[in-house]
Amino acid sequence: MKPSLTFATLFLLLNITYSQKTYAPLHAEWKYEGFDVYCEGNHIKYTVTSEQFIDDKDCSWITGYQWSDEEMGWLTQDSLLVWENDHKVYFYEDTSFYLMYDFEAEAGDTVMSYDPVDRRLFSITGYMEDEMLPHLIPYYVITVEEIEINGVMYKTFVTPEEGIESCTTKSIIIEDIGSTGMGLTGETCFLVTMGCPGQFVCYNNGTVSYESGFLSCDSLTNVGDIPLKDEVKIYPNPASDLLHLDVPSSISIIGYVILDAGGRLLLTGEDISTIDISTLPKGVFYLKANLANGEVFLKSFLKQ
């Protein structure tokens, strides 16, 4: 009887450990659009490819991929080992664990998070050869709100997006999902003056499925195609009150939406020639237009 009880206990403990993985269970996947000067699509995804125990901690390997139009496939960029405990997410670097997200943070908290060193798609700060340790990049939580995903309420943490020191923002953070910026660990550390800064597209772990509405989770090269980019003109950019589009007669637009950097729907309409944006705050926004032939036109603009 004792061996059976021992095995049953061990099996239960393993299942409890697995069930605690709400951020990065095996096969979980995030998709993002990275920064691109011409808004042609910089497709990035992160997938939990395997698991490994480090110091008795059940960790997950997240592999980052970047889409290659030349190879017509996803190219592996780098991997990051993460561990989640007490609703916090840590990454492993140089034999130590560093905090990446705190999903228990409250409004007014400053989370002392870190950025991985020289990890390509996982690093949002610059890298110097003499820097061997992760960079401290604290983020300040302005408010904590809620969003419904698959019938369950999740916290969203709103952090500053402008007017602060560089490398101290992760955009809007969703509980158990992470940053809605341009990558898994947040925003990159440079000022985007032209083009599309990029943002979160979707997350799926087999149980939880969430799309930001910014792009379709299945979208790849059909978004922001070069011919459309060249043919459709958006002006002025930056704009203050009115946004105008010059659309050739050969292109039929059946509707549009305007999204903020967090993927939230702000405006919608059908008349694409002139759009009143006077109610929008200052910042970067995205105009997403649906074409009659099923294609999607995406263009960023700056409200000043």
Q: Which residues contact 298 (CB under 8 A, 6 or more apart)?
A: 39, 196, 215, 223, 224, 286, 287, 288, 289
**pLDDT recorded at residue 19:** 44
Spatial separation of the C-alpha atoms in residues 245 and 70, rounded to whole Å:
31
**pLDDT recorded at residue 288:** 77
Chunked in runs of 10, what are the mean pLDDT values of the chain (304 residues)?
A: 44 44 94 76 89 92 84 82 96 93 95 87 72 83 93 91 51 91 76 66 92 75 41 78 81 78 74 85 77 69 78
**pLDDT recorded at residue 195:** 61
Q: How far is CA 205 from CA 28, 49, 90, 94, 265, in A?
A: 4, 12, 19, 28, 24
**pLDDT recorded at residue 46:** 95
Burial of 7 (0-12, 13-18, 19+ CB in 10 A): exposed
**pLDDT recorded at residue 266:** 84
Domain ranges of the chain: 24-211, 226-303
Neighbours of 197 (CB within 10 A): 23
Pick the closest to residue 192 from 287, 284, 286, 126 (CA basis). 284
Spatial separation of the C-alpha atoms in residues 52 and 59, rounded to whole Å:
5
**pLDDT recorded at residue 161:** 54
* Residues in the chain, total: 304
Q: What is the 3-state secondary structure (H, E, C) of 169-196?
A: CCCEEECCCEECCCCCCCCCCCCCCCCE
**pLDDT recorded at residue 2:** 44
**pLDDT recorded at residue 27:** 93
Domain 226-303 bears CATH identifier 2.60.40.3080: yes
Spatial separation of the C-alpha atoms in residues 159 and 223, rounded to whole Å:
28
Spatial separation of the C-alpha atoms in residues 280 and 71, rounded to whole Å:
40
**pLDDT recorded at residue 210:** 94
Residue appearing with tokens 């694409």: 272
Contact criterion met (CB below 8 Å) for 91 and 49: no
